[in-house]
Structure 1
Amino acid sequence: MPSVLSLPNQSAWRRRDCLVMAGLALGFGPALAQRSAATLPAAQSLPDELARALQNKQALVVMVSLDGCVFCRQARHSHLSPMHKAGTVIVQVDMRSTQAVVDFGGKLVTHDQLARAWKVSIAPTLLFFGPQGKEVAERMEGGYLPDFYGPYLEDRMAQGRRALTSL
């Protein structure tokens, strides 16, 4: 009779199972248990979304995400969706997506082309844009420890606000 603590046959483990286990080990358990994923609006027109953010004296926050990414889901659920609901202009660009978006130059491109143009290779990546679509704060790349994600995010938001006031 197998022990309750024994691991399943390793050949039966799929990549997703390994990511879930890694997420649990890093303390993402509550978010993984929460299957109803928080969502963000997909980027459609970066000039329009930037104009909305700048009207609020904020940088435009763009989350570059990847379908199925556990760390992306955690960042959306714990931090970005609540900020969006509170009025911060945040949009999502999906790596590998063929969804159309108007870039800062007014050109119609896909989400994937945009992520490549920005040289984003890690999900999640948060970018903070100011006037003329220029980055105004250091990027947040990858999954941070859950206890530190919020403070790092607030630091980047503050960098963006300072950059906007100095213009």
Structure 2
Amino acid sequence: MWRRRDCLALAGLALNLGTAWAQRTGATLPAAQSLPDELARALQNNQPLVVMVSLDGCIFCRQARQSHLSPLQKAGTVIVQVDMRSSQAVLDFNGKLTTHDQLIRGWRVSVAPTLLFFGVGGTEVAERMEGAYLPDFYGPYLDQRLATGRKSF
């Protein structure tokens, strides 16, 4: 029979494991769930939807999330993450249920991290950012892609 203190200890352990996992993976961006809804939120702000393609354990992905994408997301830019090799369900831009990995394959992305910028109708509105850039240039290239994406509306 479970006692209250056993349940509290188990809940505390689960919370600590979840926090440790998030810190280890740098999981600071929301996972894509419904691209049509996420795109609609971005377009309401006159912004392209930024989708980060990530790979578990990728140090360059973690660096991009922590240094550039998470601060933008906290400032109001709609950014979601899709994960290579993940079977997590997601609705694509056509409203069809698929997985993160299938979505990435359909986009023909083979490098992590890759940033994609989507506008009206789920079309790409700026050049992709593939791979790791020099830290001094990542921010300016990202700003340029966002500006290009905004001009497409």
Q: TM-score, normalised on structure 2? A: 0.83
Equivalenced residues, count:
131
Within 5 Å, give how 1:104-119 maps onto structure 2.
Answer: 104-119=93-108
- Whether the aligned pair in 1 keeps the contact of 2:25 and 2:56 (CA below 8 Å) is no
- Whether the aligned pair in 2 keeps the contact of 1:38 and 1:81 (CA below 8 Å) is no
Q: Quote the residue 2:130 is aligned against.
A: 141
- Structure 1 runs (4+) greater than 6 angstroms displaced: none
Q: Is structure 2 residue 84 aligned with structure 1 residue 99?
A: no
Tell me which of 39, 49, 61 is aligned to 1:60. 49
Tell me which of 59, 69, 72 is aligned to 1:70. 59
User: 2:100, 2:27 → 1: CA distance?
Assistant: 19
Tell me which of 87, 96, 118 is aligned to 2:76. 87
- For structure 1, the residue ranges without an aligned partner over 5 or more in a row are 1-33
User: 2:127, 2:87 → 1: CA distance?
Assistant: 27
User: 2:95, 2:24 → 1: CA distance?
Assistant: 36
- Whether the aligned pair in 1 keeps the contact of 2:25 and 2:62 (CA below 8 Å) is no
Within 5 Å, give how 1:40-51 maps onto structure 2.
Answer: 40-51=29-40
One-letter identity of the residue aligned with 1:118: W
One-letter identity of the residue aligned with 2:48: A
Task: Kindly indicate which of the two structures has a greater share of residues assigned to helix.
Answer: 2
User: 1:47, 1:91 → 2: CA distance?
Assistant: 12
One-letter identity of the residue aligned with 2:150: R
Tell me which of 102, 114, 119 is aligned to 1:125. 114
Aligned partner of residue 116 in structure 2, secondary structure? strand
Distance apart, 1:37 and its partner CA = 2.2
- For structure 2, the residue ranges without an aligned partner over 5 or more in a row are 1-22
Q: CA RMSD in A?
A: 1.2
